[in-house]
């Protein structure tokens, strides 16, 4: 085997050129290795760059998606809160209106029950006769001249006259 191998080597190259070829081969292989390494690094760099870009784009897209989802969620919550508040205020307003209406009814009914001084329009406490009442004896006296013709109250003698003030309303 040694003999054949030696013969082959010997056939193709002499010893000196054999060393040269060997060096050249080594250099070629080294160059090739460097070239492949450079190509590999280059390809790796491109791939990494592409991946990075893709991931960045995906990240941005995810960010946009998340942001839109959050915005939509926030908008929904806002709408819901707004509806709740509107409902709450509507209820409060209704309740306030009801209270005011009821108070008004109460006051009106109380006002209707009250009698008012014929003379000065203050609340009356003395009743004279039908539809005629006064806040004070003074008002009754001042009104007497015009009222005497219409007064339905009679004094003890059967004559109408101012006489004593009518009984206080709460005694009627
Ligand atoms: Zn009066
Ligand atoms: Zn009267």
pLDDT tens for 6-15 read 444 444 445 5
Per-residue pLDDT at 171? 38
Q: Are residues 87 and 138 in the same domain?
A: no
35 Cα: distance to centroid of ligand 2 (angstroms)? 130
pLDDT of residue 104 exceeding 70: yes
- The residues, ordered by sequence, that sit 6+ positions from 12 with a Cβ below 8 Å of its Cβ are none
Q: Tell me, yes or no, whether 117 lies in a domain.
A: no
pLDDT at 157: 53
Higher pLDDT, 2 or 155: 155
Separation of CA 109 and ligand 2 centre (Å):
24
The reply to whether 18 falls in a domain is: yes
What's the CA-to-centroid distance between 155 and ligand 1, angstroms? 22
Measured CA to CA, the distance from residue 37 to residue 49 in angstroms comes to 18
Domain closes at, from 37, 71, 91: 91
Q: Is the pTM of this model over 0.75?
A: no
Tens of pLDDT, residue by residue over 32-70, are: 889 999 999 999 999 999 999 999 999 999 999 999 999
Residue 107 lies in a domain: no
What's the mean pLDDT in 93-116? 89
Arithmetic mean of pLDDT, 139-156: 83
Domain end residue (candidates: 75, 91, 107): 91
46 belongs to a structural domain: yes
Does some domain include residue 26? yes
Distance separating alpha carbons of residues 88 and 47, to the nearest angstrom? 60
- Domains held by the chain: number: 2
Q: Is the pLDDT of residue 3 over 70?
A: no
Statement to judge: residues 12 and 58 lie in one domain: yes
Instruction: Assess whether 87 and 131 both reside in one domain.
Output: no
Please check whether residues 62 and 12 belong to one and the same domain. Answer: yes
Instruction: Please tell me whether residues 12 and 84 are part of one structural domain.
Output: yes
In a domain, 38, yes or no: yes
Residues 84 and 140 in one domain: no
Q: 133: which strand partners?
A: 117, 127
pLDDT-derived band of residue 170, with 50, 70 and 90 as boundaries? very low
Name the least confident of 108-112, 139-143, 155-159: 155-159
Q: Where are the alpha helices (DSSP H) in the chain?
A: 2-12, 15-113, 137-147
| 84 and 131, same domain (yes or no) | no
Centre of ligand 2 to C-alpha 147, Å, is: 6
Structural domain including 155 reads 126-171
Structure tokens at 77: 């919550």
Q: How many CB atoms lie within 10 A of CB 25?
A: 10
Question: Is 100 within the bounds of a domain?
Answer: no
The answer to whether residues 28 and 79 belong to one domain is yes
Model confidence at 169: pLDDT above 90: no
pLDDT grade, residue 162 (50/70/90)?
Answer: low
Ligand nearest to the CA of 124: 1
Assigned domain for 109 exists:
no
Question: Which bound ligand lies closest to the C-alpha atom of 146?
Answer: 2
């Amino acid at each position: 085997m040694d003999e054949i191998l030696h013969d082959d080597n010997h056939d193709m190259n002499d010893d000196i050129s054999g060393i040269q070829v060997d060096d050249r081969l080594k250099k070629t292989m080294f160059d090739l290795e460097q070239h492949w390494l450079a190509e590999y690094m280059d390809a790796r760099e491109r791939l990494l760059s592409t991946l990075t870009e893709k991931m960045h784009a995906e990240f941005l897209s995810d960010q946009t998606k998340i942001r839109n989802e959050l915005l939509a969620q926030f908008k929904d919550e806002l709408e819901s809160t707004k509806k709740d508040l509107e409902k709450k205020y509507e209820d409060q307003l209704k309740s306030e209106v009801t209270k005011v209406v009821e108070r008004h009814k109460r006051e009106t009914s109380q006002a209707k029950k009250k009698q008012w001084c014929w003379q000065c329009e203050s609340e009356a406490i003395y009743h004279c006769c039908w539809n005629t009442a006064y806040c004070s004896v003074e008002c009754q006296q001042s009104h007497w001249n015009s009222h005497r013709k219409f007064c339905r109250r009679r004094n003890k003698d059967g004559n109408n006259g101012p006489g004593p003030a009518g009984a206080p309303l709460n005694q009627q």
